[in-house]
Amino acid sequence: MKELPTGTSNGAPKAKRAYKTRGKMSEAEKLMRDLEAGYKHNRKMIEQSMAECSKGTNTYLAHVKALDAQLLEYARFRREIGMLPKSVAAQTTTRYIFKAHVAESGNVTTVPVSSAAEMRELERSEEKEMKKGYFTSEEDEAIRARFEAEFGNGAVEPERK
């Protein structure tokens, strides 16, 4: 008589095989899968049709424009449903620098700054804007220079002993 296999060396029964799980995709995952497949299929059809056109013709140009429009619409829809961020640059930025300005009314305006040159340009334009409508003379500048020398950043730095 032949012995039946038990699956393990110690005679314990073998565990059941795990089957693939089908139909476990969420509705959102199905939508994304179908969206991607539809986009690729339509793009392939346009590219195949484009291969039959002569370069430089209006028909070829129409195909190029159709491919462009399809890509832009696809990206717009993916942003709309949350698959892509609104600003890809915001996701790739590792450092954030902002320039804040407080108006006389108390309103605060913040502007993102990407480089030191951009910061200098913003400060220069603010300084230029602040000086509009003010009369300055050499005497005024001398008084400002004296106050700067005497007090400097004393309002924000503790007094040194």
Handedness of CA 6, 8, 10, 12 (dihedral sign): negative
The predicted pLDDT at position 103 comes to 75
Which of 26, 23, 29, 24 has its CA nearest to residue 83? 29
pLDDT tens for the chain, 161 residues: list them.
555 555 556 666 777 776 665 667 778 788 888 888 999 999 999 999 999 999 989 999 999 999 999 999 988 888 887 777 777 666 666 777 888 877 778 888 888 888 888 888 888 887 887 777 676 778 888 888 888 888 876 555 555 65
- 97: β partners: 113
The predicted pLDDT at position 23 comes to 65
